[in-house]
Amino acid sequence: MNTSILTQKNHGEIINASPEHFGSLRDSSDIFSNPLEIRQRMSEDGYLYFKGVLNHDDVIEARRELLEKMAKDGFVHPDFPLMEGISHPEKKIGFAPEYAMGSVALKNVVFGQTMMAFYQRLLGGEVRHFDFRWLRAVSGGLPGINPHCDIVYMGRGTSNLFTAWVPYGDTPMEMGTIMVLEDSHKKSPMIKRYLDRDVDTYCTNFSDAKDIESGKKSWPQFTFSGALSNSAARLQNKIGGRWLSADFKVGDFLSFGMRMIHSSLDNQTEKIRLSSDTRYQLASEPIDERWIGENPIAHGVAGKRGQIC
């Protein structure tokens, strides 16, 4: 394991790097093309980590395209080579899906033959993907994401849905890589109330209902942002298991299901950490309407659902 993990943090909180608390993701590259093995291991581990299976040049081209657009908007330090992706010290960026939605090169990576064929093997049938592409362009010095499960953001269709996390450039842990909580996909009963929630559901009998319905108040201003905890350490003590991560390279990707608890480390470098999240499911199963179409409604007004609380 990279010894640099001794200094890693999540929201400024030092991650316990002892063997009982932190470990390395299991490499599943050797079974990438084996349908039976990947299904069994996904069930076993709750995630699949692959090294170097995506086309290197395609990933680098996506990185170049993204950084060029961000440089035009002032997020990349102009005194360094573009592809180093050094953050501008006075202009920060974080969640930036607009760059992913407009990137042809990124689309070729996440919806290309390699990725789609993999999910067909995993799911055993014709696959479709969400049209929305999540992009994290995390400036140097910014914190990671709080622990959460994806189902609270996209649970209106099938729950047999999978995330692909793809880094665009070599991404060591100190840049703020993703981490998953070991075996947490098997502990759903412990967090059932959380898993049953939807970030776009609001209470029609509460005083802010009209503001939500009009769009004056929008997610993530709701009481429930989707985070399971604001402390990776406290959550680990409650749920159990080790946090698992890796030093990612170009061509790597990580896949996991909707009930796998995951988070990310803080970016403690001067570089922008570029990564995307995309989702895949069987074409025959229902799909969450918030994330499909040319202009997905996402967490907008059209995606809100009222209920009596």
**Residues of the chain whose pLDDT is less than 50?**
1-5
- Contact call for residues 284 and 126 (beta carbons, < 8 A): yes
Q: What is the pLDDT of residue 194?
A: 98
- Contact call for residues 308 and 151 (beta carbons, < 8 A): no
CA distances from 62 to 85, 158, 180, 272 (A): 13, 30, 25, 14
Q: Which domains does the chain have, with CATH numbers?
A: 3-307 (2.60.120.620)
- DSSP-derived pairing of the beta strands 22-24 and 243-245: parallel
Question: In the chain, which residue ranges form alpha helices assigned H by DSSP?
Answer: 35-45, 56-72, 97-101, 104-110, 113-123, 151-154, 192-195, 209-214, 232-239
Q: What is the pLDDT of residue 222?
A: 79
Q: What is the pLDDT of residue 223?
A: 81
Tell me the pLDDT of the chain averaged across its residues: 95
Q: What is the pLDDT of residue 68?
A: 98
Q: What is the pLDDT of residue 125?
A: 97
CA separation for the pair 13, 7 (Å, rounded): 10
CA distances from 170 to 179, 203, 273, 293 (A): 16, 44, 9, 31
Q: What is the pLDDT of residue 274?
A: 98
Q: What is the pLDDT of residues 93-141, one digit of tens each?
A: 999 999 999 999 999 999 999 999 999 999 999 999 999 999 999 999 9
Q: What is the pLDDT of residue 64?
A: 98
pTM for the predicted model, two decimal places:
0.96
Q: What is the pLDDT of residues 22-44, one digit of tens each?
A: 999 999 999 999 999 999 999 99
Q: What is the pLDDT of residue 2?
A: 43
Q: What is the pLDDT of residue 220?
A: 79
